[in-house]
């Protein structure tokens, strides 16, 4: 019975915690050819963000990785240990694409170049190189996220 008094407050505190991201999210963007969806792995913790898509030999046409940050900030990405080129979409807290880096190539020599966001962002979506061009995505496009 005494354990109930210990567990009950913990259960109440846990129910008040902010919702955590699932392992995957569906990201829908408004492109020039109409809406396009991407099934993305979600990485919201620092160790997973550092690993990102390193050592991946391929990425499906409508697959990607969504990096989620705790608060809006200027972020930098490098392509160390990457095997494939990527398009990077920088997304602000209003869920609009504010910047796009296309066809970012894997790093072949140290020091690796870093691609920075010009503005503070809350999310970065990495997809296969050429995705942005195929779907005619551009800054200002709205982004819908669901887990």
pLDDT, tens digit (0-9, with 9 covering 90-100), for 55-86: 688 899 999 999 999 999 999 999 999 899 99
Q: Are 97 and 90 in contact (CB under 8 A)?
A: yes
Report the alpha-carbon distance of residue 25 to residue 145 in Å, rounded.
7
> Residue 50 above 50 pLDDT?
yes
**Average pLDDT over every residue of 10-38:** 70
> Residue 20 above 60 pLDDT?
no
Report the alpha-carbon distance of residue 118 to residue 107 in Å, rounded.
21
HSE-up of residue 112 (Cα within 13 Å, Cβ side): 15
Nearest Cα to 128, choosing from 39, 29, 60, 33? 60
CATH code at 20-146: 2.60.120.1140
The predicted structure's pLDDT at residue 8: 33
Q: What percent of the chain has pLDDT over 70?
A: 84
Cis amide prior to 55 (ω within 30 degrees): no
Report the alpha-carbon distance of residue 125 to residue 42 in Å, rounded.
9
Across the chain, mean pLDDT equals 85
Report the alpha-carbon distance of residue 116 to residue 75 in Å, rounded.
6
Nearest Cα to 85, choosing from 53, 49, 118? 53
């Amino acid at each position: 019975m005494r354990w109930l008094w210990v567990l009950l407050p913990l259960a109440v505190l846990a129910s008040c915690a902010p919702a955590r991201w699932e392992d995957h999210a569906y990201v829908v963007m408004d492109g020039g050819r109409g809406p396009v969806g991407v099934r993305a792995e979600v990485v919201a913790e620092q160790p997973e963000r550092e690993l990102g898509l390193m050592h991946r030999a391929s990425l499906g046409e409508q697959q990607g990785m969504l990096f989620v940050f705790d608060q809006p900030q200027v972020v930098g990405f490098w392509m160390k240990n990457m095997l494939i080129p990527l398009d990077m979409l920088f997304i602000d807290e209003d869920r609009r694409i504010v910047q796009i880096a296309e066809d970012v190539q894997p790093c072949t020599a140290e020091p690796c170049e870093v691609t920075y966001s010009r503005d503070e962002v809350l999310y970065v979506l990495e997809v296969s190189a050429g995705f942005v061009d195929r779907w005619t995505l551009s800054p200002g496009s709205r982004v819908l996220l669901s887990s």
